[in-house]
Structures are given as C-alpha cells and as structure tokens.
A = this chain, B = another copy of it.
Amino acid sequence: MPPTVFIVDDDPSVRKSLERLLRASGFTTQAFASAEDFLACRPCQNPKEPACLVLDVRMPGISGINLQQKLAKTGIILPVVFITGHGDIPMSVQAMKDGAIDFLPKPFAEKELLAAVEQALTKAARLQEETAEKAEIHRRVNTLTPREYEVFRWVITGMLNKEIAAELRVTEKTIKVHRARVMQKMAAASLADLVRLAEKIGIASEKRSSSGN
C-alpha cells in the first residue's frame, strides 16, 4: 500500500486535479471538502503508514492554518503542505512557524508539490518512528512500581547502590533488588542502555539531596 496523501480543499476542481496528479505519482489519496469533513474522519488522523496533508489555507469554516494547529496540538503526525490562491506573507510565515513543510501559492509547478509531498512523507515516517520508540519506552516505564521508578531515576545519575540506599534510607540490598527489576522491565542489557532509554524520553534524573534531606 503506497503512502496516503490527504487533500483538503473546498474547490472541487482543485481536489480533482490534485488527486489526479498525486495518484499518477503513485500515492493513495483521500480528499475532503472542508477541515470539518477531514476531522470527522477518525482513522485519517491515526494513519499506521506515513501520511501527509495537502491543505488549502483559506476555506470556509475552519481554515487550513487552524486545522494544522489543531492537529499539532493533539499530537497527530501529519506534515502539512499548504497550497493557496490568495495567501499573503504573514499567513505563510505563520504556517511555516507551525511546522508546515511548504507553502505554495497557485499556480505552482507540479514538481514543486510533489517534492514537498515527498518531503512531508519522509518527515512523517521519521516522526512516526520516533514516536513509536518513545511510546514503547513509556510503556515499559509504566510497568515500574513507584519505588522502582524512583530507583530508576537515581540509577541513571550514575550513583552507587550504596549511595542511593542512603538517599532512600534503605539498605543497599533493597536497591539491588529494585535495580535488577528496573533493568529487566526496561529491557536494558546494560546501564548504558538504561541511560539512553531515559535520555530518549527525557526523564529528569533525581538530584542528590544535600545533607540530611
């Protein structure tokens, strides 16, 4: 199944020609007449395969810019390529600030659109991969008990078991047990791996309490 390009444009003729062009280039397409219509399509917003969105800036109801912002806010991975007939500079700047791949005023060369779509799909693939990786790590973290999680955050600071034990006011033995479980649950073969897992999801490591806490 080729990657999907969603199209949202209120002009039927534009939708038609975009679909023709993109399908001819080997993409799967799905077109909508408005942002509302697109938002009504639930599965469209959680594509398993990399996908992207070719979006008209100016539409009745929810604007393209607005739709882009909504999607970004909900963490949906759908890089956007804007097209527009009557755009202006502030609009294009806002779109780019919000992470748009490109912003093409009509008329544009087919080549330009295709290049932008390719780039958008590449980015979608990368983001999906990264997101999936993080989700998997979070899944593992969620299997940790509160205490294990606490020990986890201490371990990745590089502190010795005995130091962590003193910090948590338990014996070193206890830390060893928790630590072993953390390694197992996080599927980390080594401390180096564990540290990298923590870095990937941006876990704030504990800070050594001074003196008697």
Contacts and interface: CB of A to CB of B under 8 A. Distances in A.
Interface of A: 87-90, 92-93, 96-97, 102-103, 105, 155-159, 189-193, 195-196, 199
Contacts of A190: 157-159
A45 B89 CA distance: 29
29 contacts: A87-B89, A88-B89, A89-B89, A89-B92, A89-B103, A89-B105, A90-B105, A92-B92, A92-B96, A93-B96, A93-B102, A93-B103, A96-B97, A97-B102, A155-B192, A156-B192, A157-B190, A157-B192, A158-B189, A158-B191, A158-B192, A158-B193, A159-B190, A191-B191, A191-B192, A192-B195, A195-B195, A195-B196, A199-B199
Contacts of A92: 89, 92-93, 96
A133 to B, nearest CB: 15
Closest 10 CB pairs of A and B: A158-B190, A158-B192, A96-B96, A195-B195, A89-B92, A192-B195, A93-B103, A89-B105, A92-B92, A158-B193
Contacts of A103: 89, 93
A147 B189 CA distance: 25
Chain A at the B interface: SS class: helix
Given A92-B96, A93-B102, A196-B199, 20 more contacts: A87-B89, A89-B89, A90-B105, A92-B93, A93-B96, A96-B97, A97-B102, A155-B192, A156-B192, A157-B190, A157-B192, A158-B189, A158-B191, A158-B192, A158-B193, A159-B190, A191-B191, A191-B192, A191-B195, A199-B199
A103 B89 CA distance: 8
Nearest to A91: B89
